[in-house]
Structure 1
Amino acid sequence: MENKIEWWRGAVIYQIYPRSFFDANNDGIGDLLGITQKMDYIASLGVDAIWLSPFFTSPMKDFGYDVSDYCDVDPIFGTLKDFDDLVAEAHKHGLKVMIDQVLNHTSDQHPWFKESRKSHDNDKADWYVWADAKPDGTVPNNWLSVFGGPAWHWDSRRKQYYLHNFLDSQPDLNFHNPDVVDAILATVEFWLKRGVDGFRLDTANYYYHDLELRDNPAKEEVVEGSIGVRLDNPYAYQQHLYDKSRPENIAFLQRLRALLDQYPQTTTVGEVGCDFSLKTMAAYTQGHDKLHMCYSFDLLTHDSSMEHIRHTMETIEAGLGDGWPCWSIGNHDVERVATRWGKNKHMPNQSKAYMAMLLSLRGSVCLYQGEELGLPEAELSYEQLVDPYGINFWPEFKGRDGCRTPMPWSNTSLGGFTTNPTPWLPVMEDHLPLAVEEQEGTRSSILYAYRDFLHLRRSHPELIHGDIEFLYHDVSTLTFLRSYNGKSLYIAINTAEQSKIVSCHFSLTPLVLPEAIPAGYIENGQIVLPAFSVFIGCVIDTE
């Protein structure tokens, strides 16, 4: 394909959680104007695009992932003009703008749902997934909510249950109704006309459900620690065959792609969460007629072994065909990677090694705000939680608030995020020494490592467009080739506290890595990798 034209292939997308990025009006909540004011910083990182988590009108029961108006900005974030100004400023800095689209469900405050629940015969009666109770009054089937308990909620007005894969205030839309699909696509086009460059699609494999409402079978084995599995949540005990990842989803994704094809240089990245996520990623991105990219939860687990990384990459490469992956090791839904993979130790050089690994893999990349600072997971008390997911499952699961606390810009009591003494989540004291201003003054900082490596990456198309071939791995070490247009780079990563030596059968000219990144070196024909180090060499020839 035309790699130079399709900007999203190999792009690095910086995810911004607007509530926590920068508070321009000092009400304690980040806003669109705050993002615009920090555009110089974002551009300085060397990323290609920004992805904005939801900023649409919402009652905020799930902090914007419960939309009550797809075509407006919630007042806490600003106005449509603020959004237009943000897009213009981003484009001025050479940055693309992607926005979150939560199409699977709405808020129960959305006008569509308010109308739908009134009766069985109104214009929107079939816009949501309604079902009668069983003869004994119980729920229609055994489907479960990701957030705990049955995926059905009784509505006394319609005297029926409605489906909700998440909170009971987030009813699922009925994508089997063509009017729903038309209405959803119209909301997507609203933002395309405002100049957005793409969409991150929340829960992209959830849109359709089984019309027969068949029960999900039980899993034969439930393994804690596998993708999305927590034994305290009954959701993990089912094979989700009928409530998501349905074959009808393909046709919708094709219609969505046809719409985006009318707006050249736009793109989509779909979030895929399921037991067969790598297989689904391939199916959703093959053929150039569905999603442009997908990312899964496969690198958002606690397994940071290089064996897991290699297995994940090789599995998707084997089945991807002409599809395209997007990888992330952190986002707004999971424990911060510095804690999750750092095993609760503060090891800046390890964060740098994981960063270099991620940015050297084949595919596009999503970086979550604060990763470039090496922020650890925030430790919050139960009283400080606002995430309903965490409140429901406390204390076994502490929710998502720990990765959503405000971005520290300066080493001050409120981190330069706001002047409001009570921000929506507390600014964490242990984040302050890692603030942007602190790291700006230190050439060895994680921030400089990210910036410098991102700029290095831009000058080596092998790292952006190249094929990948894995050579060696152990628990903490990974070596592979990236090859493009007849040139190859050899990459070796050590994520352990101990030094490693790996054999290499290539003649190499080492790249000079940024000074903030611990570098490996060649000695007696072998690659010596000190603790948490990276080696990249240009391949001259093979033996």
Structure 2
Amino acid sequence: MKSSDWFRDAVVYQLYLRSFYDSNGDGIGDLRGVIDKLEAITSLGVNTLWLSPFCASPNEDNGYDVSDYRSVAPELGTLADLEELLAKAHKKNLRVLMDFVVNHTSSQHPWFQDAKSSVNSRYRQWYYWSDGRPSDTHPHGGPPNNWDSYFGGSAWTQSEETGQWYLHHFLPSQPDLNWENPEVRQEMFSIARWWLEKGIDGFRLDAVHHLGKPLGLPDAPAHLKLKQFKNTRLTHAHLREFRKAVLEPWGAVAIGETGGTTPSTALLYTARQQELDAIFHFDQFFLPHPRAQDFLKNHERWYRKFSGQHAWDTAFFSNHDQGRHLSLWGDDRYLRRRSAQFFAAVLLTSWGTPFIYQGEELGLGNAGFKSPADFQDQASLRRYHEALEQGQDAELALAHLLMYGRDNARTPYSWSSAPQAGFTKGTAWLKPAYDYETINWERQQGDSDSVWEFYRKVIRLRQDNAALRHGKWVRWSHHPHIYAVQRGKGRNLVALVGNWSREFVTWNLPRSRGTQGNWVVLLSNYPASSSSVKAGKITLRPWEVYILTTV
């Protein structure tokens, strides 16, 4: 049996394919573009790639609505392109994760097209169908229960062909698969094996927290803001079967998207890798105040629960579904470089496997869009229009879209100051970020103080230092603005001390175990005046961060 423990030493780079690099001028990033830019990726120092969905899709949700699981979307390339990418990535010691959309398909998938045509279709039970129930607002029958869609409205849509309703936790064009049906499970297992045979090293499992639905499909509790069931007992049963049937024989990694988990419920997925190698939870995006102590307290809560249970975590600040963290938590106006470097140090010294989302290593913030017309993401636009229909203040609804809309993180990669950010020789499918002429990859090469170079240095530091990968994690600070932790493995101790604010902050640095209690500076994000820092009172400049050691 092969091992997937390599994942615990990984630094993962998430590629949003259609926005990374366009090799043929059609305005859409593609697999050939990734091949062309492999050298740029490897020079950063990462050792694992996560590719966003690349299977055939009508793209109502940018590939998270699959119409053929054993294919490559024509606009992204060919199967031969993917196989070439995998071969070249492996030659450079890069492992590759596939974004596997397991909870739902596209409504254009042949399975669903057949299923909706007749109640007697052989694929009818591959999805969830139900008669409507009488209601005052739906005299001819309304949705079967009160479940909500993430993207607004009911999670049920009535089919014209048979009059029954089908379930979709996301867009109506993304019907949920019925994982209680053993035929569905076996087919999804077969698809996963097919991709592993092609050379894929593992999976990010999309929306895996919705695989198992409660028996009888009852109403969700009325007190829930978003009326849904997540992380059910049946979900765990399906994933244990998936691990034994697919993951263990191949030594393949699986990281699940599991919104709504707590440290205790997350252990059901990850303890001793009985189901998944790790999960994505989203606590950091729902903290009451984005400041040092909220993040430290949250990280401590997860670490204490996971450590000792042979469970593992992920660390990430941005992805394709969120506004960029530099705009949400940092300073993308006045101290962009220093705050971006600060977050790089925090992320890459965290316990768990760090995930870097494309563009954050440049210090990219939100897109700078001005109106709904700049957005293409249907989910964000549906929520915006629903807010207006519900009577929300128009200015407030627009402000929320501009700050949190998902396209903020999906703009074409800023390669250079050339037209279209050097992403394409045509017209990009989505407007480039407003600041690409000054914030781009080309401009940061050779600049020893650039955000890109700082990421590269911290990645190298992590990979060279076992304390940062596997050492104990100890919270060091209760100061409202100081993010300070100690990582340790044996006598090898590393400390991170940073100022999460725009102010000058004074803090009492503990003595080290080294010579005269001083600390050796491994890395800092301001030009250092000394190679060591004395214990005692120190004053940190805005967003200043130190990585220190006793050795």
2: CA distance between counterparts of 1:486 and 1:514? 19
Q: Deviations over 1:162-189 (max 9, x none)?
A: 0100000000001111111111111111
Point out the more displaced range, 320-329 or 467-476: 467-476
User: Which of 376, 379, 390 is equivalent to 1:389?
Assistant: 379
Instruction: Give the CA RMSD over aligned residues.
Output: 2.0
Structure 1 residues 120 and 371: CA distance shift in structure 2, 3 A: same
1:527: how far off? Answer: 4.5
1:495: how far off? Answer: 1.9
Which residue of structure 2 aligns with residue 225 of structure 1?
Answer: none
Is 1:366 equivalent to 2:360 in the alignment?
no
Counterpart secondary structure, 2:126: coil
2: CA distance between counterparts of 1:279 and 1:163? 29
User: Which of 310, 330, 353 is equivalent to 2:296?
Assistant: 310
User: Which of 406, 410, 417 is equivalent to 1:404?
Assistant: 410
Q: Deviations over 1:377-419 (max 9, x none)?
A: 0122222221111221332434211210100111112211001
Is 1:334 equivalent to 2:338 in the alignment?
no
User: Which of 184, 192, 201 is equivalent to 1:188?
Assistant: 192
User: Which of 352, 359, 370 is equivalent to 2:341?
Assistant: 352
Which residue of structure 2 aligns with residue 224 of structure 1?
Answer: none
Counterpart secondary structure, 1:208: coil
1:89: how far off? Answer: 1.2
8 Å CA contact 2:413, 2:423 repeated in 1 = yes
Structure 1 residues 524 and 79: CA distance shift in structure 2, 3 A: closer
8 Å CA contact 2:508, 2:535 repeated in 1 = no
Which residue of structure 1 aligns with residue 387 of structure 2?
Answer: none
Is 1:256 equivalent to 2:242 in the alignment?
yes
Point out the more displaced range, 374-383 or 524-533: 524-533
Which residue of structure 1 aligns with residue 73 of structure 2?
Answer: 74
Which TM-score applies when normalising by structure 1? 0.91
User: Which of 222, 225, 229 is equivalent to 1:237?
Assistant: 225
1:473: how far off? Answer: 2.8
Q: Deviations over 1:401-452 (max 9, x none)?
A: 12101001111122110010x2100123412211111011321110111011
Structure 1 residues 52 and 493: CA distance shift in structure 2, 3 A: same
8 Å CA contact 1:408, 1:434 repeated in 2 = yes
Which residue of structure 1 aligns with residue 393 of structure 2?
Answer: none
Q: How does 1:425-444 map to 2 (within 5 A)?
A: 425-444=430-449
8 Å CA contact 2:499, 2:543 repeated in 1 = yes
Q: What percentage of residue pairs aligned between the two structures are identical?
A: 36
1:366: how far off? Answer: 0.8
1:526: how far off? Answer: 4.1
1:301: how far off? Answer: 4.4
1: CA distance between counterparts of 2:305 and 2:358? 31
Which residue of structure 2 aligns with residue 231 of structure 1?
Answer: none
Q: Which amino acid aligns with 2:272?
A: G
Counterpart secondary structure, 2:344: helix
Point out the more displaced range, 482-491 or 250-259: 482-491
2: CA distance between counterparts of 1:299 and 1:44? 29
8 Å CA contact 1:448, 1:516 repeated in 2 = no
Which residue of structure 2 aligns with residue 223 of structure 1?
Answer: none
Q: Which amino acid aligns with 1:384?
A: D
8 Å CA contact 1:270, 1:293 repeated in 2 = yes
Counterpart secondary structure, 1:502: strand
1: CA distance between counterparts of 2:412 and 2:45? 22
1: CA distance between counterparts of 2:186 and 2:28? 34
Which residue of structure 2 aligns with residue 484 of structure 1?
Answer: 489
Which residue of structure 2 aligns with residue 98 of structure 1?
Answer: 97
Is 1:418 equivalent to 2:424 in the alignment?
yes
Structure 1 residues 212 and 138: CA distance shift in structure 2, 3 A: same
Is 1:179 equivalent to 2:183 in the alignment?
yes
1: CA distance between counterparts of 2:368 and 2:262? 30
Is 1:151 equivalent to 2:160 in the alignment?
no
Counterpart secondary structure, 2:76: coil
2: CA distance between counterparts of 1:472 and 1:151? 44
Point out the more displaced range, 503-512 or 109-118: 503-512
Structure 2 unaligned spans of 5+: 385-397
Which residue of structure 2 aligns with residue 280 of structure 1?
Answer: 265
Q: Deviations over 1:479-536 (max 9, x none)?
A: 2221124422222122222233223043345344346556695235444433322223
Which residue of structure 1 aligns with residue 275 of structure 2?
Answer: 290
8 Å CA contact 1:58, 1:64 repeated in 2 = yes
Counterpart secondary structure, 1:8: helix
Is 1:208 equivalent to 2:234 in the alignment?
no
8 Å CA contact 1:335, 1:402 repeated in 2 = yes
1:73: how far off? Answer: 0.3
8 Å CA contact 2:521, 2:549 repeated in 1 = no
8 Å CA contact 1:510, 1:536 repeated in 2 = no
Q: How does 1:118-137 map to 2 (within 5 A)?
A: 118-135=117-134, 136=139, 137=141
1: CA distance between counterparts of 2:411 and 2:357? 12
2: CA distance between counterparts of 1:475 and 1:278? 24
Counterpart secondary structure, 2:435: helix
8 Å CA contact 1:10, 1:365 repeated in 2 = no
1: CA distance between counterparts of 2:85 and 2:520? 37
Which residue of structure 1 aligns with residue 29 of structure 2?
Answer: 30
Which residue of structure 2 aligns with residue 504 of structure 1?
Answer: 510
Is 1:170 equivalent to 2:155 in the alignment?
no
Structure 1 unaligned spans of 5+: 220-235
Q: Deviations over 1:237-289 (max 9, x none)?
A: 1463xx3211111111112222111113x211111111x34333222101322
8 Å CA contact 1:205, 1:273 repeated in 2 = yes
Q: Which amino acid aligns with 1:164?
A: H
Point out the more displaced range, 29-38 or 204-213: 204-213
2: CA distance between counterparts of 1:71 and 1:476? 49
Which residue of structure 2 aligns with residue 60 of structure 1?
Answer: 59
Structure 1 residues 110 and 19: CA distance shift in structure 2, 3 A: same
1: CA distance between counterparts of 2:526 and 2:86? 33
Structure 1 residues 23 and 353: CA distance shift in structure 2, 3 A: same
1:355: how far off? Answer: 1.0
Q: Which amino acid aligns with 2:232?
A: R
2: CA distance between counterparts of 1:448 and 1:511? 21
Q: Deviations over 1:291-341 (max 9, x none)?
A: 001121122347431222122212212322211000110001111111111
2: CA distance between counterparts of 1:239 and 1:282? 24
Aligned residues between the structures:
517
2: CA distance between counterparts of 1:85 and 1:300? 37
The structure that is helix-richer by fraction is 2
Q: Which amino acid aligns with 1:412?
A: A
8 Å CA contact 2:128, 2:167 repeated in 1 = yes
2: CA distance between counterparts of 1:267 and 1:355? 25
Structure 1 residues 524 and 144: CA distance shift in structure 2, 3 A: closer
Which residue of structure 2 aligns with residue 226 of structure 1?
Answer: none
Which residue of structure 1 aligns with residue 305 of structure 2?
Answer: 319
1: CA distance between counterparts of 2:488 and 2:5? 19
8 Å CA contact 1:500, 1:531 repeated in 2 = no
Q: Which amino acid aligns with 2:183?
A: D
Is 1:453 equivalent to 2:453 in the alignment?
no
2: CA distance between counterparts of 1:306 and 1:70? 42
